[in-house]
Amino acid sequence: MPWRTSIRRFSWIAILSAIGLLTGCAEQDAVKEKPVPLTIESTPYGQLPSGEAVTLYTLRNGTGMEIGVIDYGAILTSVKVPDSKGGLADVVLGFDSLDGYLGTQPYMGATVGRYANRIAKGKFTLNGKTHSLAVNNGANALHGGIKGFDKRMWSAIARNSEVGPSVELTYVSADGEEGYPGKLTTVVTYTLGNDNDIRIHYAATTDADTVLNLTNHSYFNLAGAGKGTILDHMVTIQADRFTPVDSGLIPTGELRSVAGTPFDFRTPTAIGGRIDETGDEQIKLGGGYDHNFVLNDGNGQLRLAAKAREPVSGRVMEVFTDQPGMQFYTGNFLNGSVTGKEGIRYGKRFGFCMETQHFPDSPNKPEFPSVVLKPGETFESTTVYKFSTDGNK
């Protein structure tokens, strides 16, 4: 099944609208409860060195959850969710002001592209032509290059949708930007639902054949941003296989079984349980987990990919995606050099990423699912981060 049309199989908005119509009929004979209003607030968030003004969009749902999104980098700056006792905490790493996002930092909360993850040696061949990309990760291209989507201004429109408050962000990437062919128009929409779910919808079109891989690079700590390491989080990943890597963290092309390895998260397992196993070559190469997992039950359907639970707060996060892979990264390269929210230095393994995606280096691996987007086609994909607590699961 071509990945670019996978999300068209169904429409969550249509389903929820139908449910709403049925509910509306039932309410004619029932006492209506006054809904808690959904809100969107826009506030100034500083200026770029160029003088462009950056805006923060704060979305709140009817249950008290709140998220922040800025139009620089289409960055998710905050996610405030309750614990099992109702106490709110921000569970994504980031910064208190724009200055932090403009500095040297590891893609916190960002929308990354044109190609998320790594492309070996910064080169790929498409239609017989070799394209040379901006190299920014040793010999490789990472997350779109030196000035990828995470470092660009996006145009934003905030609105209330059928499922909740949303902000739609658009960026037009010029032909040849960072070495990628084709003029690419990308739209990323964040929507906050009343089920404490963040729905991220991606859409893109091009005027020439190109390659595309989009994801969100938020670092999560369900105890709260800056509240120590994430080693005690219990994680489940719906994957029987993963893609082992070489010394440059480029997939070898093998799809290896997780059975009998530290990569077996098919049942709830503490992140720290096997992260320092000195006998495992792949753990050594990644410095921990920094690997793509081949998700089960694909075929372009939105399905559960992973789940994380923090035992003290009781917070739970579920990840749903229609993409074939997910990069599980455990903050191995955080080293205290980045000062984040409330002046806290983010140390090693202070956050984890669950980046829904196509496989790394797919443009050079024809055996991997295709990442080619052609004129006249529309890439569409959805990822959902859904939050709850032990008390309501």
DSSP bridge pairs for 57: 42, 69
Catalytic residue among 131, 201, 217, 233: 217
What is the C-alpha separation between 373 and 198, in angstroms, rounded? 26
User: With 0-12 CB in 10 A as exposed, 13-18 as middle and 19+ as buried, what is 62?
Assistant: middle
Phi, psi of 392 (to 5 degrees): -120, 20
Q: How many CB atoms lie within 10 A of CB 222?
A: 29
Tokens of 297: 């039950």
Active site residue 254: no
Active site residue 217: yes
What is the C-alpha separation between 119 and 124, in angstroms, rounded? 8
Catalytic residue among 178, 310, 355, 380: 355
Sign of CA dihedral 276, 280, 286, 289: negative
Question: Read out DSSP for 319-346?
Answer: EEESSSEEEEE--TT--S-SB-GGG-B-
In Å, how far are 17, 26, 158, 251 from 31, measured between CA atoms? Answer: 21, 10, 32, 58
The DSSP element (H or E) to which 328 belongs, if any, is: strand 325-329
Residue type, 144: G
Say which DSSP state 4 is in: G
User: With 0-12 CB in 10 A as exposed, 13-18 as middle and 19+ as buried, what is 290?
Assistant: buried
What is the C-alpha separation between 167 and 161, in angstroms, rounded? 9
* Residues tagged active-site: 217, 355
